[in-house]
């Protein structure tokens, strides 16, 4: 969608939060629902234009720019398409520094921002604007609507000032994502040594957690979320060992030989063992050889307020949060 929009409408201007005028109105956008549904339904060209029109009519303000609310998965790409078709800049920031499954799980919640007014629409033409008493209520109500309309809803939320974006956004995340993509491409094209994982880990700043072959995949769609577990049998230096990764849309925990090596809010990424291209959960299948990598989360999430929102216990994982870089050093102790 993003590539097609840029091809049809021209390139998107990426701006830093400090470049946004003080009186500007920023309108982030995203897709809510299960990623597997998105692969089946896709999206329309005018989805976000309709949402932006709704927001401008409701607020009486003209949208200056948009931005991703999460920099992972499809929601890293949809704002690019929206910016191209609307002819507005894209702010180099998001509210997560990764992806999380629920709407209230953004750094802007820590900063006291409201997710509403939230504009929504589906592929049938249903649309509306909601106002709610809290960001968690917004998650619950919007999730219910998402279920009713078939598991996918386009949304515009957390409309904000330039100050809110500067103070609480995860700045530079779009540029960082681009740099990671270039690093992976350089490996894929043989521009650097592909025989060692160390170079890849240096480029990404990641921690090696496990290398294995997928031997089982458990999946279910429940409450407009994808839940699942990927079971791995060790290969290479991890031969004779086992691991699993549990997820709710996003990976939440990695356990190796019964020892937890990473939990939310740190990132747990599955990449192809040979090409290092990311493997999304909906593409995981039996026999796939993957490298599991942990990446440190944005520092905002390691605060007390951040861990209350997205720490392991929120997701029902019975362990204290320990940064992935510390856990990986203790591996096997």
Residue range 194-329 forms a domain whose CATH class is: mainly beta
Choice between 103 and 184, residue whose per-residue pLDDT is larger = 103
Position 112 scores a pLDDT of 97
Is the pLDDT confidence value at 258 over 90? yes
Domain boundaries, the chain: 2-171, 194-329
The neighbour count for residue 211, using CB atoms within 10 Å, is 21
- Give the predicted TM-score (pTM) of the model: 0.91
pLDDT, average across residues 156-173: 98
Is the pLDDT confidence value at 39 over 90? no
Show Cβ contacts of residue 179 under 8 Å, excluding neighbours closer than 6 positions. none
Show Cβ contacts of residue 309 under 8 Å, excluding neighbours closer than 6 positions. 104, 105, 109, 110, 301
Position 42 scores a pLDDT of 65
Whole-number mean pLDDT of the chain?
A: 93
For residues 13 and 119, give the distance between their C-alpha atoms in angstroms, rounded to a whole number. 24
Reported confidence tier of residue 76, pLDDT bands at 50, 70, 90: very high
Phi, psi of 135 (to 5 degrees): -70, -30
Structure tokens at 204: 């990404």
Residue-wise pLDDT for 277-330, tens only, equals: 899 998 999 999 999 999 999 999 999 999 999 999 999 999 999 999 999 887
Position 288 scores a pLDDT of 98
Distance spanning both ends of the chain, measured CA to CA: 46
Residue-wise pLDDT for 186-225, tens only, equals: 777 766 555 567 878 887 889 999 999 999 999 998 877 8
Q: Are 154 and 121 in contact (CB under 8 A)?
A: yes
Residues forming beta bridges with residue 290, ordered by sequence position: 212, 272
Q: Which helix (H) or strand (E) holds 136?
A: helix 135-148
pLDDT, average across residues 101-125: 96
pLDDT-wise least confident of 7-11, 43-47, 57-61, 165-169 = 43-47
Full DSSP string of 266-309: SEEEEEETTT--B--GGG--TT-EEEEEEEPPPGGGGSHHHHHH
Show Cβ contacts of residue 158 under 8 Å, excluding neighbours closer than 6 positions. 28, 69, 95, 106, 108, 113, 114, 115
Reported confidence tier of residue 331, pLDDT bands at 50, 70, 90: confident
Q: How far is CA 299 from the centre of its chain?
A: 16
Position 183 scores a pLDDT of 81
Reported confidence tier of residue 185, pLDDT bands at 50, 70, 90: confident
pLDDT, average across residues 30-36: 85
Count of all residues that appear for the chain in the document: 333
Domain 2-171, CATH: 3.40.1610.10
Reported confidence tier of residue 126, pLDDT bands at 50, 70, 90: very high
Is the pLDDT confidence value at 332 over 60? no
Phi, psi of 244 (to 5 degrees): -145, 155
Q: Are 229 and 246 in contact (CB under 8 A)?
A: yes
């Amino acid at each position: 969608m993003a590539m097609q929009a840029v091809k049809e409408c021209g390139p998107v201007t990426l701006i830093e939060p400090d470049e946004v005028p003080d009186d500007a109105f920023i309108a982030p956008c995203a897709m809510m629902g299960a990623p597997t549904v998105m692969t089946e339904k896709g999206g329309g060209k005018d989805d976000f234009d309709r949402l932006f029109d709704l927001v401008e009519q409701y607020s009486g303000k003209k949208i200056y720019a948009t931005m991703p609310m999460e920099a992972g998965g499809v929601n890293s790409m949809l704002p690019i398409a929206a910016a191209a078709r609307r002819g507005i800049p894209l702010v180099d920031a998001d509210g997560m520094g990764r992806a999380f499954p629920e709407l209230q799980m953004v750094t802007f919640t820590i900063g006291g921002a409201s997710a509403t007014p939230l504009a929504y629409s589906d592929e049938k033409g249903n649309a509306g604007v909601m106002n709610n008493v809290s960001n968690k209520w917004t998650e619950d109500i919007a999730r219910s609507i998402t279920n009713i309309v078939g598991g996918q809803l386009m949304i515009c939320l957390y409309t904000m000032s330039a100050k809110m974006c500067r103070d609480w956004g995860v700045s530079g995340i779009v540029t960082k994502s681009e740099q990671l993509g270039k690093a992976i491409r350089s490996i894929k094209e043989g521009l650097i040594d592909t025989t060692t994982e160390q170079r890849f880990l240096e480029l990404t700043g990641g921690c090696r957690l496990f290398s294995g072959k997928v031997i089982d995949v458990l999946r279910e769609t429940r409450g407009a979320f994808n839940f699942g577990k990927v079971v791995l049998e060790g290969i290479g230096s991890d031969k004779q060992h086992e691991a699993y990764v549990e997820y709710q849309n996003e990976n939440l925990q990695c356990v190796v030989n019964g020892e937890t090596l990473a939990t939310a809010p740190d990132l747990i990424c599955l990449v192809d063992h040979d090409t290092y291209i990311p493997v999304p959960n909906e593409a995981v299948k039996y026999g796939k050889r993957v490298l599991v990598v942990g990446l440190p989360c944005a520092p905002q999430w390691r605060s007390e307020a951040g861990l209350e929102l997205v720490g392991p216990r929120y997701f029902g994982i019975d362990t204290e949060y320990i940064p992935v870089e510390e856990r990986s050093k203790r591996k096997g102790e």
